[in-house]
Amino acid sequence: MPTSAELRPLLILLALLVGLLSLALGGLRRVLRWLQRRPRWAVAGVFGLAYLLPWGLYLGVLGISTPPAAQTLPWTAQVLVLGQPWLYLWQMLALALAVPWPPPSVLLARGWASLRRQGAAFLLGLGLGGLAGLGYALLLAGFESRWPGTAERIPGLPPLALGLWLATGLLLAPWVEERFFRATLLDAAAMRWGRPRAVMLSAALFALGQGRPLLLLPAFVLGLALGGLALRRGSWEAAAWAHMGVNLVLGGLAWYLLI
C-alpha cells in the first residue's frame, strides 16, 4: 500500500481540485442568478456560459499548452472526442444550475406524472437514436476512409467513470438540455421570429454546442425532430423522454456519442 508520504501530494492535489471546482460552480451560480434578474439577456447568457465560454477556453488551452506532437491522441481522433467528457459535464451542470428546480420529492412526483403522460416518446427516441447512429456511422466511414483506424485509437473510460458518464447522459442531460433548448430558448425565439424559425435556431445551437464535427449534422436533425415533438405534444418533457432514448442508443454505440 502507498505510504502516507506518497499519498500526501495526491490528497493535496485532490483538495485543490475540489476547491477550484467549488469556486467555479459558486461563481457560475452567482452569474446565473444575476442573469435571471435580466430576462432580456438570460438565454444568450446561459448559452454563453454553458457552451461558448468553456469551448473557447478549452480550445485556447489546447492550442497553447499541447502542440500537436505532444497530444495524447492524434488530431484525427481528437476530432471525434473533442472536449469529452469534461466539457459535457460542465455544460450539464451549468444548465442544471440555470433554472430553479423543485425539492426532490416534488421532482419525483412530477417525473412519474410526466412518464405517464409523455413516456411513450422514449420509444420514438430509440428510433431517432438508431437513425442518428446510422448517420454518424456513414459520416465516420467517410472520415475513416481517409484516416483509417482513427476511432480505434480512442481509449475507453474506466468502469466507474463510464457509469457516472452514462448516468449523466441518461438521467441529467435530457432534462436540462431539453428544458433549455426546447422550452426556454425555443419559447423566447418563437415570440420574436415565429415557431418554425425558433425550432431551426434551437436545433442549430443545440448542434453547435456538441462541438464534435461529425455530430453536427446528426445533432441538428435530432434538434429539429425534438423541437417538432415538443410543439406537437405541447410540452418539452416529451422531447426529454425522446432525448433519453436517443442517448441510450448512442451511449451503447460509443461513450463519446452522448449528446
Q: What is the residue extent of each domain of the chain?
A: 1-37, 39-257
Mean pLDDT, residues 139-153? 91
Most confident of the following: 86-90, 95-99, 187-191, 249-253? 249-253
Least confident of 119-133, 145-159, 203-217: 145-159
pLDDT at 31: 58
Please state, as a whole number, how many other Cβ atoms lie within 10 Å of the Cβ of residue 133: 18
Contact between 57 and 86 (Cβ < 8 Å): no
Assess whether pLDDT exceeds 90 at residue 232.
Answer: yes
Q: Is the peptide bond before 85 cis (omega within 30 degrees of 0)?
A: yes
Mean pLDDT, residues 161-167? 88
Kindly state the helix (H) or strand (E) to which residue 65 belongs, with its residue range: helix 53-65
CA 104 to chain centre: 22
pLDDT at 117: 83
Distance between CA atoms of residues 241 and 115, nearest Å: 8
Looking at every residue in the chain, the average pLDDT score rounds to: 83
* pTM for the predicted model, two decimal places: 0.83
Assess whether pLDDT exceeds 90 at residue 143.
Answer: yes
C-alpha cell at 42: 438570460
Burial 179-191 (b: 16+ CB within 10 A, else e): bbbbbbbbebbbe
Assess whether pLDDT exceeds 70 at residue 26.
Answer: no
Kindly state the helix (H) or strand (E) to which residue 95 belongs, with its residue range: helix 86-98
CB-based contacts of 185, cutoff 8 Å, min separation 6: 43, 47, 198, 201, 202, 205
Assess whether pLDDT exceeds 50 at residue 191.
Answer: yes
pLDDT at 70: 45
* Percent of the chain at pLDDT exceeding 90: 46
pLDDT at 246: 98
Cα angle value 186/191/193 (rounded, 5°): 85
Assess whether pLDDT exceeds 60 at residue 22.
Answer: no
pLDDT at 133: 96
pLDDT at 2: 47
- Chain segment 30-46, per-residue pLDDT in tens: 655 655 565 566 788 88
Contact between 249 and 126 (Cβ < 8 Å): yes
Tell me the pLDDT band of 24, cut-offs 50, 70 and 90: low
- Chain segment 39-96, per-residue pLDDT in tens: 566 788 889 888 988 888 888 777 665 555 445 678 888 889 988 888 898 899 889 8
Distance between CA atoms of residues 72 and 184, nearest Å: 38
Distance between CA atoms of residues 4 and 200, nearest Å: 57
- Give me the residue label for grid cell 435530432: 222
Q: How far is CA 205 from CA 17, 152, 170, 244, in A?
A: 31, 29, 21, 19
Least confident of 67-71, 98-102, 187-191: 67-71
pLDDT at 158: 86
- Chain segment 177-186, per-residue pLDDT in tens: 999 999 989 9
pLDDT at 69: 46
Q: How far is CA 169 from CA 5, 17, 68, 245, 248, in A?
A: 38, 23, 30, 10, 8
